[in-house]
Amino acid sequence: MEIFAKRIAPLVSAGIVALAIAGCATTEQVPNVRMSGFLGDYSKLHRGKSGQAEFTYRDPNMDLSKYQRVMLDPVQLWAAETKTSALSKLSREDQQLLVNYLYVALRDALQKDYVIVNEPGPDVMRVRCAITEARSTSPVKDLLSTITPAGLGISYAKRIVLGIHSGVGVVSVEGELLDSITGQRLAAVVDRRAGTKSVLGKPTRWGDVQDAFNFWARRMQTNLAVLRTHQD
């Protein structure tokens, strides 16, 4: 126990410092995302750089400037491992809540730059997305591992080993952009995010997951805007 305490002590201090520095970050990328099969072909995806999804693909010849409208498919649930997936154990109410959260986040972000439509067309880009993993926040466990030095140290130790803090929500998604007429893949991503020890996080079961959805939606909007600008 003494040896364990000595090893944990620096982690406690490091954890408190990290929390003070990154107190505004409520969601972070975490490793070990698992391919679910939703995208079908993963052969062209590669590990993303800093600031990108964990796995990403972009057609080097795509011309985004021709797309003025977006057809947003209903968000799906697609478990990477059906028998052991936390998704399959969720109530139907929670499952519907999750797909609604992500759909609304994507719609609200995309409609700032595109017209949302229901039918394919020559200037229509299609967006497909699936939630492949989702675990809710444990508010009590999250709180205890945030406000107590020992709890925070153990949480950071867990993050170092497993990549995820204690008690936080975790969610993975897969998505792709397609030409709505030809079905040509323009871009694709596979990513996984979790809550942080930020004191600004939402103290609700799905608060961390919702923060991740909002992050992905904003990043999609920003990336598309940047790519369109460079092609105009």
List pLDDT tens digits, range 181-197.
Answer: 999 999 999 999 988 76
Q: Three-state DSSP class for 70?
A: strand
CB 208 within 8 A of CB 139: no
pTM (2 d.p.): 0.77
Q: What is the tens place of the pLDDT at every residue in 71-111?
A: 999 999 998 665 557 788 899 999 999 999 999 999 999 99
**Residues 7-11: what's their mean pLDDT?**
38
Please count the structural domains in the chain: 1
Q: CA 41 to CA 68: how far, in whole Å?
A: 27
Q: CA 112 to CA 102: how far, in whole Å?
A: 16
For 105, residues 6+ apart whose C-beta sits below 8 A from its C-beta are 210, 213, 214, 216, 217
Mean pLDDT of the chain: 79
In 41-196, DSSP assigns E strands to 46-47, 55-58, 69-72, 76-77, 115-117, 124-135, 170-179, 185-195
Residue range of the domain that includes 49: 2-231
**Residues 26-55: what's their mean pLDDT?**
93
Q: CA 173 to CA 3: how far, in whole Å?
A: 40
Q: CA 139 to CA 108: how far, in whole Å?
A: 28
Residue with tokens 């364990």: 4
pLDDT of residue 59: 96
Q: Three-state DSSP class for 160?
A: helix
CB 114 within 8 A of CB 67: yes
